[in-house]
């Protein structure tokens, strides 16, 4: 038979229907010019031919390909599954199919190829495809045979960290082969790097240098941009200190549907833009905000598909225009790039003006490549505020609060003098008030500074009540979020300061948001909340799975929090791992993970819809049957 084997340099040009999803992912890496150990693929067609009785022809081609790899220096091989839908955005298939590493002789490789073929028809694989709604039968398996490179260290890279910040890259690694991380055989080291940063992390005496981690993160971020989708990469560091990539998988990411609702109130939104932080937090933190609505990403999706502005957008513009001049502000967010320079509206006075700005904005996003897979293309609709002053306040947990305040618009901070106040916490006592001469203020946005009236030039911008209100609001945010920078507006009018001082923008002051981890606490004394106002994300009776048969006891007995003891489970066994995942899915309990959150088992649990909370340890005082709360670290 001819064509049973295809070489890795061909993978990029071949369809996944011929070589499977995993080989197609390798082709993506090779086409991008990244280092990948040489490999060949035994095609899906070859598998079907072997099932039809042409196995000897397939074996012959595999033997000849192995001889070529040996001539090029290979003496050990990895035999890896590449099912039709494997490592795609629709199905990662973590640990569902078989892969083997460290094979030498032809007969070992041939036997491993057949075991990988058979894994496509296992009960675990059939159940997985049924659960995920995937097409393909037991014959839709290709097999990768790759040079097995001895590894000094290895691990995984995620451009979409589970439960973490999508604008970061998570690298988990350990000494030895990548399987030590993937199969939870060794406690992983972790490094979280920003996609837009170039700083090199400090890693101490670990097996991988900070520069190598930065290189991996750079490769991952570049591939993510080129493919317009989040990725999971497997990698190793060889004995010569060179990085090699072994696998590339597309991670699932929700697609914004072009369907109603197209607008929504800003308060309580889940959209990610920093500019929306006050609206997200209102209700959880005592905050005052302006009234505003959102034009949602679904409206942009509808415009992109049809070229028409949804009627709901016109209706919300009409409501605000009836009250006075309208502001339409970009609240774009993307994991891949900044939206700081996107167009903002001038003062808009009619529905037609608002619609024209909306269409200009959407066209700009499309024409400048801002509509990537992660983008939330949204706008904030409000009336222009009648403000007297603008404020920037910063605080860490515990204070003090540092306040800068100026008359007029906040953009005057760069060109005009401003007051400075220092407020001690928790008593909200003003320790310092610097009140300079202030001849100018920006009274109209995007206009040059204008002279201030004489009577205001040496007067305090904020009275003591306004200072206390700004400081108190900032302190509440810092208590919940950690160090923050808060922009506030002080509205005109005679109402109380609590009504006139409104939060406008909140930014967390940290270089890189890390992966979110959790800890356990005995339930009861804290009333379900953690320190600094953090709420328990899960509660129940702690249940430790110490043996596979323990899973059967999860069906009853009320709400539980399940901890899997990886030291006693062979979770590299696809049948066992899938059976446990199915049982946990059926039981509906949250799971504590004491290994790598990027392991095959963790990924499988997430695909099965199980809530997974990574923890570093279970406190010694807590045991099986104790009631516990799971709290963010």
**Residue 572: per-residue pLDDT:** 58
| Pair 365, 377: CB distance under 8 Å | yes
Q: How confident is the model at residue 573 (pLDDT cuts 50, 70, 90)?
A: low
How many Å apart are CA 386 and CA 408, to the nearest integer? 10
**Residue 187: per-residue pLDDT:** 84
How many Å apart are CA 18 and CA 10, to the nearest integer? 11
The SS3 assignment for 481 reads helix
Please state the rounded mean pLDDT for residues 482-502.
Answer: 92
Q: How confident is the model at residue 616 (pLDDT cuts 50, 70, 90)?
A: low
pLDDT of residue 570 exceeding 60: no
pLDDT of residue 266 exceeding 90: yes
**Residue 528: per-residue pLDDT:** 40
| Pair 529, 535: CB distance under 8 Å | yes
How many Å apart are CA 397 and CA 477, to the nearest integer? 9
Contacts of 241 by beta carbon, 8 Å cutoff, 6+ apart: 152
Residue range 240-255, pLDDT digits in tens: 999 999 999 888 888 8
**Residue 108: per-residue pLDDT:** 97
Lowest-pLDDT choice from 2-6, 414-418, 545-549: 545-549
Question: What b/e sequence results for 587-605 when a residue is b if at least 16 CB atoms lie within 10 Å of its CB, and e otherwise?
Answer: bebbbbbbbbbbbbbbbbb
Please state the rounded mean pLDDT for residues 249-267.
Answer: 92
The SS3 assignment for 105 reads coil
Q: In angstroms, how far is CA 615 from the centroid of its own chain?
A: 18
pLDDT of residue 617 exceeding 80: no
Q: Catalogue all structural domains in the chain, each as residue range(s) with its CATH number.
A: 5-147 (3.30.1490.20), 151-250 (3.30.470.20), 263-377 (no CATH), 387-491 (3.30.470.20), 518-632 (3.20.20)
For the ranges 109-118, 204-213, 602-611, the maximum mean pLDDT occurs at: 109-118
Work out the mean pLDDT of the chain and round it to a whole number: 88
pLDDT of residue 468 exceeding 80: yes
Please state the rounded mean pLDDT for residues 226-236.
Answer: 92
pLDDT of residue 511 exceeding 50: no
Q: How confident is the model at residue 571 (pLDDT cuts 50, 70, 90)?
A: low
Lowest-pLDDT choice from 71-80, 415-424, 508-517: 508-517
Question: Residue ranges of the alpha helices (H) in 197-306?
Answer: 210-227, 277-281, 297-306
The two tokens of residue 141 are 């398996």
Beta strand ranges found along 97-219 (DSSP E):
99-103, 141-147, 151-158, 168-175, 189-194
Please state the rounded mean pLDDT for residues 478-498.
Answer: 90
**Residue 524: per-residue pLDDT:** 62
The secondary element (H helix, E strand) that includes residue 568 is none
How many CB atoms neighbour CB 446 within 10 A?
10
Q: What percent of the chain has pLDDT over 90?
A: 57
Name the burial class of residue 11, with classes exposed (0-12), middle (13-18) and buried (19+) by CB atoms within 10 angstroms of its CB.
buried
């Amino acid at each position: 038979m001819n064509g049973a084997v295809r070489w890795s340099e061909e993978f990029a040009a071949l369809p996944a229907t011929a070589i499977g999803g995993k080989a197609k992912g390798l082709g993506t890496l090779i086409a991008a010019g990244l280092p990948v150990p040489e490999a060949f693929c035994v095609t899906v067609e070859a598998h079907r031919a072997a099932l039809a009785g042409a196995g000897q022809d397939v074996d012959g081609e595999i033997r000849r390909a192995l001889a070529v790899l040996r001539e090029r220096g290979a003496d050990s091989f990895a035999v890896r599954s590449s099912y039709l839908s494997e490592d795609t955005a629709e199905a990662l298939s973590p640990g569902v199919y078989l892969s083997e590493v460290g094979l030498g002789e032809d007969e070992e490789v041939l036997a491993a190829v057949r075991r990988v073929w058979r894994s496509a028809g296992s009960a675990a694989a059939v159940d997985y495809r049924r659960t995920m709604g995937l097409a393909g039968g037991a014959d839709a398996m290709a097999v990768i045979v790759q040079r097995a490179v001895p590894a000094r260290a290895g691990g995984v890279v995620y451009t979409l960290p589970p439960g973490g910040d999508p604008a970061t890259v998570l690298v988990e690694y350990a000494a030895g082969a990548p399987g030590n991380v993937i199969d939870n055989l060794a406690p992983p080291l972790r490094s979280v790097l920003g996609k837009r940063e170039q700083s090199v992390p400090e890693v101490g005496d670990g097996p991988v240098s900070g520069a190598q981690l930065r290189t991996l993160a750079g490769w991952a971020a570049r591939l993510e941009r080129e493919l317009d989708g989040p990725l999971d990469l497997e990698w190793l560091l060889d004995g010569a200190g060179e990085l090699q990539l072994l696998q590339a998988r597309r991670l699932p990411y929700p697609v914004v549907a072009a369907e109603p609702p197209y607008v929504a109130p800003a308060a309580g939104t889940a959209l990610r833009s920093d500019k929306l932080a006050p609206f997200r937090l209102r209700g959880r933190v005592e905050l005052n905000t302006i009234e505003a609505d959102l034009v949602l990403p679904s409206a942009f999706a509808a415009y992109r598909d049809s070229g028409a502005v949804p009627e709901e957008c016109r209706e919300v513009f009409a409501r605000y225009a009836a009250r006075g001049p309208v502001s339409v502000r970009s609240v774009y967010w993307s994991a891949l790039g900044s939206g700081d320079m996107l167009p903002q509206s001038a003062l808009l006075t009619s529905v037609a003006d608002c619609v024209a700005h909306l269409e200009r904005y959407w066209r700009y996003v499309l024409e400048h490549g801002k509509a990537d897979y992660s983008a939330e293309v949204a706008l904030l609709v409000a009336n222009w505020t009648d403000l007297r002053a603008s404020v920037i306040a910063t605080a860490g947990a515990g204070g003090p609060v540092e306040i800068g305040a100026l008359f007029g618009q906040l953009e005057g901070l760069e060109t005009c003098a401003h007051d400075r106040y220092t407020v001690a916490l928790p008593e909200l006592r003003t320790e310092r008030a610097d009140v300079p001469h202030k001849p100018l203020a920006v009274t109209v946005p995007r206009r040059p500074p204008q002279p201030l009236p004489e009577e205001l030039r040496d007067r305090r911008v904020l009275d003591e009540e306004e200072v206390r209100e700004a400081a108190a609001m900032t302190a509440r945010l810092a208590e919940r979020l950690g160090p923050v920078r808060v922009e506030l507006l002080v509205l005109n009018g005679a109402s109380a300061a609590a009504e006139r001082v409104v939060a406008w923008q909140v930014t967390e002051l940290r270089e890189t948001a890390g992966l979110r981890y959790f800890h356990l606490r005995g339930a009861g004394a804290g009333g379900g909340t953690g320190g600094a106002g953090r709420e328990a994300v899960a509660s129940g009776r702690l249940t430790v799975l110490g043996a596979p048969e323990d899973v059967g006891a999860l069906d009853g007995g009320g709400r539980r929090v399940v901890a899997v003891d990886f030291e006693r489970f062979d979770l590299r066994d696809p049948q066992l791992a899938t059976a446990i995942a199915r049982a946990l899915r059926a039981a509906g309990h949250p799971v504590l993970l004491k290994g790598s959150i990027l392991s095959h088992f963790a990924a499988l649990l997430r695909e099965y819809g199980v809530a997974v909370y990574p923890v570093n340890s279970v406190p010694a005082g807590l045991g099986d049957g104790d009631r516990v709360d799971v709290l963010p670290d």
